[in-house]
Amino acid sequence: MKRKITCSKCNKNLEENRIGKNRYCLKCHNSYMRKNRKKHSELTDIQRFKANCRSYLNTYIKRGVIKKQPCSVCSNPIVEAHHEDYSKPLDIIWLCKVCHIKKHKTENK
C-alpha cells in the first residue's frame, strides 16, 4: 500500500513531482516565497546585476540557443550553470550540484 505524503503546512496531498524533493505543496511554497523573497527593487546593486545575468542565461537556455552539457568535472548529466565572471553572462561552466558547491568552497578559501 502506497503511503500518501502530505504538505507540512496544510496537510493536503503533495503533488507527484514534489515528493522526495519538497516538504510543501506548490500553493504553500508559492505563498511563502511571495512573503519572503526579496523583490528585485530590494536587492543590492551587485545582487541585481547577478540576478539579471542569471535571467539572461536562462532566456537563452529556454530558447534553445544554449544547451546544457554534462558536468565538466564528473560528467553528471544533472547540472547547474556556474559563472566565473558575471559580466559575461553566457560564458559559463556546467557543474553538478556537488561539484558546484566544492568549487565555491575552494574559491572562498
| pLDDT one-digit tens code per residue, 79-88 | 999 999 999 9
- Asked if 58 and 97 sit in the same domain, the reply is yes
| pLDDT one-digit tens code per residue, 15-53 | 888 888 888 999 999 999 898 888 888 889 999 999 999
Q: Which domain holds residue 81?
A: 44-108
- Asked if 30 and 81 sit in the same domain, the reply is no
- Asked if 101 and 52 sit in the same domain, the reply is yes
Can you give the pTM of this predicted structure?
0.67
Alpha carbon distances (Å) from 81 to 1, 17, 86, 103: 40, 23, 11, 12
Distance in angstroms between the alpha carbons of the first and the last residue of the chain = 49
Q: How many domains does the structure of the chain reveal?
A: 2
